[in-house]
Amino acid sequence: MSAVAFRLDGEALSVAVPAETRLSEILREQCLRTASKVACGIGRCGACTVMMNGEAVNACLVMAWQIEGAEIVSPEGLDAFETGRIVKAALIAENAFQCGYCAPGIVMALTALFLADRRAGEAEILSALEGNLCRCTGYHSILRGALSAAN
Ligand code: FES
């Protein structure tokens, strides 16, 4: 066990965990942030996407030792960002999700994209979502929502 200090949704935290503990476990089990999901657990589906130092990352691939001093934003913290609120509203308006399991990861990926590039277009949106799978195959409505958020 070692203590890891980081910021989560604007709050300074320290947790004592084995260094190889995954960020997805820390968020869900130590911090009770359960909106980011774990599906594949190997970096393939994007359900666990959060922002780390402003970039979208797969929380299931980030180890505890890597988050020392990092700024993490979980889906629960997105409302602090106008961009996050815009993305969520645009996707809801398009009925972008069916089961919703992929939704937090997709919202996080799009918010990270638009925070970095508010003028991102379709190509950038598709690239940003390459790692986010939707098993309900709702990609068209997701893309419409993302394009709407971009405007
Ligand atoms: Fe992390 Fe699938 S659970 S990418």
Nearest to 49 by CA among 8, 9, 108, 127: 108
Element holding 123 (H helix, E strand): helix 122-128
What are the tens digits of pLDDT across the range 11-65?
Answer: 999 999 999 999 999 999 999 999 999 999 999 999 999 999 999 999 999 999 9
Residue whose tokens read 């509203």: 89
Q: For every residue of 28-91, which 3-state class applies, written as one string?
A: HHHCCCCCCCCCCCCCCCCCCEEEECCEEEEHHHCEHHHHCCCEEECHHHHHHCHHHHHHHHHH
Confidence of residue 151 (pLDDT cuts 50, 70, 90): confident
b vs e for 54-80, b when ≥16 Cβ sit within 10 Å of the residue's Cβ?
eebbbbbebebebbeebebbbbbbbee
Tokens coding 111: 């918010």
**Residue in 22, 23, 48 to alter for ligand 1 test, most ligand atoms within 8 A of Cβ:** 48
Give the distance (Å) from ligand 1 centre to CA of residue 91: 21
| 27 C-beta closer than 6 A to ligand 1 | no
Q: What percent of the chain has pLDDT over 90?
A: 94
The mean pLDDT of 116-140, rounded to a whole number, is 94
Given a cut of 80, is residue 137 above it in pLDDT?
no
Confidence (pLDDT) at 90: 97
The mean pLDDT of 1-9, rounded to a whole number, is 94
Asked if 95 and 141 count as a contact pair (C-beta separation under 8 A), the reply is: yes
Given a cut of 90, is residue 138 above it in pLDDT?
no
Q: Give the nearest ligand 1 atom to 60 CA.
A: 1
Confidence (pLDDT) at 2: 85
Mean pLDDT for the chain?
Answer: 96
The CATH code that applies to domain 2-75 is 3.10.20.30
Tell me the longest C-alpha to C-alpha distance in the chain.
47
Q: How far apart are CA 36 and CA 18, in angstroms?
A: 21
| 132 C-beta closer than 6 A to ligand 1 | no
Confidence (pLDDT) at 87: 97
Asked if 19 and 28 count as a contact pair (C-beta separation under 8 A), the reply is: no
Confidence (pLDDT) at 148: 95
CATH architecture of 78-150: Orthogonal Bundle (1.10)
Given a cut of 90, is residue 86 above it in pLDDT?
yes
* Segments making up each domain of the chain, as ranges: 2-75, 78-150
Q: How far apart are CA 94 and CA 80, in angstroms?
A: 22
The mean pLDDT of 1-10, rounded to a whole number, is 95
